[in-house]
Homo-oligomer: A and B are copies of this chain.
Amino acid sequence: MTAHLAGGDLNRLRQLNADSVIRVLRDEPPQTLTELSRRVGLSRASTEDVVQELLEVGWVAEVEPAAGGVGRPARRYRFRADAGHLLGVDIGGHKVLAVVTDLDGTVLHSRQVPVTPELGRSERLAATDRVIGRALRAAGLTGDRLWGAGVATTGLVDGTGRVMLSEALTEWTGVDLAGHLRDRVGGAVRVENDCKVAALAETWRGVARHASDMVFILAGWRTGAGLIIGGKLHRGFGNAAGEIGALPAAGWQRAPGHLRARPDQGDVFAAARAGDKTAMAALRRYVKDLAQGVSALVLTLDPELVVIGGGFSRSADVFLEPLRAELDRWCLRTPEIRVSTLADEGVALGAAKLALDMSSPQLRTRR
The interface of chain A, by Cβ under 8 A from chain B, is 1-8, 10, 12-17, 19-20, 23, 40-42, 156, 165, 203, 209-210, 212-213, 225, 227, 229-232, 234-250, 292, 295-297, 299-304, 330-333, 335
Contact = CB atoms under 8 A, between A and B. Distances in A.
16 contacts: A4-B23, A4-B231, A7-B15, A8-B17, A165-B332, A229-B229, A229-B230, A237-B304, A240-B333, A243-B299, A243-B302, A244-B296, A246-B331, A246-B332, A247-B292, A247-B295
Given A301-B300, A330-B247, A236 B212 contact: no
Nearest to A250: B296
A300 B243 CA distance: 6
A240 B7 contact: no
B42 A8 contact: yes
Contacts of A297: 300
Given A41-B6, A303-B237, A247 B296 contact: yes
Nearest to A241: B302
Given A213-B237, A230-B2, A243 B14 contact: no
B234 A232 contact: no
Copies in the complex: 2
A19 B40 contact: no
Given A236-B302, A241-B302, A292 B8 contact: no
A246 B10 contact: no
Nearest to A213: B237
| Nearest 5 pairs of A and B residues by beta carbon | A236-B302, A7-B16, A2-B231, A237-B304, A7-B17
B240 A332 contact: yes
A282 B243 CA distance: 30
Contacts of A212: 1-3
A243 B295 CA distance: 10
Contacts of A15: 7
A210 B1 contact: yes
B4 A14 contact: no
Nearest to A292: B249
Nearest to A236: B302
Given A2-B231, A13-B13, A332-B156, A244 B299 contact: yes
A365 to B, nearest CB: 12
Tell me which of A235, A236, A243 has the highest count of chain B C-beta atoms within 10 A of its own C-beta. A236
A242 B300 contact: yes
A238 B304 CA distance: 8
A230 B232 contact: yes
A91 to B, nearest CB: 21
Contacts of A240: 299, 302, 332-333
A290 to B, nearest CB: 13
A236 B213 contact: yes
B1 A5 contact: no
Given A8-B41, A13-B13, A213-B237, A332 B243 contact: yes
A325 B114 CA distance: 42
Contact of A3 (B42, B231, B331): B231
Contacts of A10: 13
Given A8-B42, A225-B300, A236-B301, 20 more contacts: A3-B230, A6-B40, A7-B15, A7-B20, A8-B16, A213-B236, A227-B300, A230-B232, A235-B302, A236-B302, A240-B332, A241-B300, A241-B301, A242-B302, A243-B332, A244-B299, A248-B330, A249-B249, A297-B300, A300-B301
